[in-house]
Amino acid sequence: MKTFKLTISSPDGNIFEGEVYKLDVRGVEGELAIMADHIPFVTAVKSAPCAIWLDDDTKKEATCDGGLLTVGKNEATFISGSFKFNE
Protein backbone atom coordinates (compact mmCIF):
# COMPACT_ATOMS: atom_id res chain seq x y z
CA MET A 1 0.00 0.00 0.00
CA LYS A 2 1.39 3.38 -0.93
CA THR A 3 1.56 5.80 1.97
CA PHE A 4 2.19 9.50 2.47
CA LYS A 5 3.62 11.55 5.30
CA LEU A 6 1.06 13.12 7.61
CA THR A 7 1.73 15.71 10.31
CA ILE A 8 -1.03 16.63 12.72
CA SER A 9 -0.21 19.76 14.65
CA SER A 10 -2.11 21.30 17.56
CA PRO A 11 -1.15 23.72 20.35
CA ASP A 12 0.00 20.66 22.31
CA GLY A 13 2.69 20.02 19.69
CA ASN A 14 2.82 17.60 16.81
CA ILE A 15 0.27 15.00 17.89
CA PHE A 16 1.00 12.67 15.02
CA GLU A 17 3.88 12.46 12.60
CA GLY A 18 4.29 9.46 10.34
CA GLU A 19 3.31 7.49 7.28
CA VAL A 20 -0.37 6.89 6.68
CA TYR A 21 -2.36 5.28 3.93
CA LYS A 22 -5.52 7.35 4.16
CA LEU A 23 -6.90 10.37 6.01
CA ASP A 24 -10.63 11.02 6.43
CA VAL A 25 -11.88 14.47 7.42
CA ARG A 26 -14.95 16.61 6.93
CA GLY A 27 -14.06 19.64 4.82
CA VAL A 28 -16.23 22.72 4.39
CA GLU A 29 -17.63 21.23 1.16
CA GLY A 30 -18.22 17.76 2.57
CA GLU A 31 -16.41 14.60 3.58
CA LEU A 32 -13.14 13.82 1.87
CA ALA A 33 -10.37 11.27 1.99
CA ILE A 34 -6.75 11.96 1.18
CA MET A 35 -4.56 9.15 -0.15
CA ALA A 36 -1.01 9.02 -1.48
CA ASP A 37 -0.21 11.09 -4.60
CA HIS A 38 -3.13 13.44 -4.06
CA ILE A 39 -2.87 16.71 -5.99
CA PRO A 40 -1.73 19.76 -3.97
CA PHE A 41 -4.81 20.86 -2.14
CA VAL A 42 -5.91 23.20 0.69
CA THR A 43 -9.19 23.23 2.56
CA ALA A 44 -10.65 24.33 5.87
CA VAL A 45 -11.88 21.43 8.02
CA LYS A 46 -15.03 21.37 10.10
CA SER A 47 -15.40 20.12 13.68
CA ALA A 48 -16.20 16.44 13.22
CA PRO A 49 -14.89 12.94 13.86
CA CYS A 50 -11.98 12.03 11.60
CA ALA A 51 -9.85 8.98 11.03
CA ILE A 52 -6.45 7.90 9.78
CA TRP A 53 -5.43 4.52 8.35
CA LEU A 54 -1.87 3.50 9.13
CA ASP A 55 0.20 1.52 6.60
CA ASP A 56 -0.63 -1.75 8.41
CA ASP A 57 -4.31 -0.99 7.75
CA THR A 58 -5.15 -0.18 11.38
CA LYS A 59 -7.67 2.58 11.73
CA LYS A 60 -7.24 5.32 14.34
CA GLU A 61 -10.28 7.43 15.06
CA ALA A 62 -10.11 10.93 16.43
CA THR A 63 -12.13 14.07 17.06
CA CYS A 64 -10.98 17.42 15.78
CA ASP A 65 -12.23 20.92 16.38
CA GLY A 66 -11.84 22.32 12.89
CA GLY A 67 -8.60 23.35 11.29
CA LEU A 68 -6.69 23.63 8.06
CA LEU A 69 -5.58 20.78 5.84
CA THR A 70 -2.72 21.38 3.41
CA VAL A 71 -1.73 18.63 1.02
CA GLY A 72 1.62 19.00 -0.73
CA LYS A 73 3.76 16.60 -2.72
CA ASN A 74 2.98 13.30 -1.04
CA GLU A 75 2.79 14.92 2.34
CA ALA A 76 -0.05 16.49 4.28
CA THR A 77 -0.22 18.85 7.22
CA PHE A 78 -3.33 19.10 9.31
CA ILE A 79 -3.39 22.00 11.75
CA SER A 80 -6.13 21.90 14.35
CA GLY A 81 -6.80 23.86 17.54
CA SER A 82 -7.87 20.69 19.25
CA PHE A 83 -7.24 17.14 18.05
CA LYS A 84 -7.71 14.06 20.19
CA PHE A 85 -7.43 10.37 19.34
CA ASN A 86 -10.32 8.31 20.69
CA GLU A 87 -9.08 5.77 23.19
Partner 1 sequence: MANTKALRVRIKSVKSTEQLTKAMGLVASSKIRRANINMYKSREYLASLEKSISLLTSSQDAQKSPYMQKRDTSRTKIVIIAGDRGLAGGYNANVFRLAKEYGGAEFIPIGKRACDFYGKEINSSEKYSFDEAMTLSRELCREFCEGSFDRLGIIYTTYHSVMSQEAKIKWILPLSRREESSDNAGMIYEPDHETVLNLVAAEYVAGVITSLVRESFACEVSARRMAMDSAGKNAKQMISDLSLQYNRARQGAITQEITEIVAGSGQ
Does residue 29 bind partner 1 (CB under 8 A)? yes
Does residue 67 bind partner 1 (CB under 8 A)? yes
Does residue 47 bind partner 1 (CB under 8 A)? no
Beta bridge partners of 32: 25
Phi-psi label, residue 21: left if phi above 0, alpha if psi -120 to 50, beta otherwise = alpha
Does residue 42 bind partner 1 (CB under 8 A)? yes
For residues 82 and 15, the answer to whether their CB atoms sit within 8 Å is no
Q: Nearest distance from residue 29's CB to partner 1, in Å?
A: 5
Q: Nearest distance from residue 66's CB to partner 1, in Å?
A: 7
- Residue type present at position 35: M
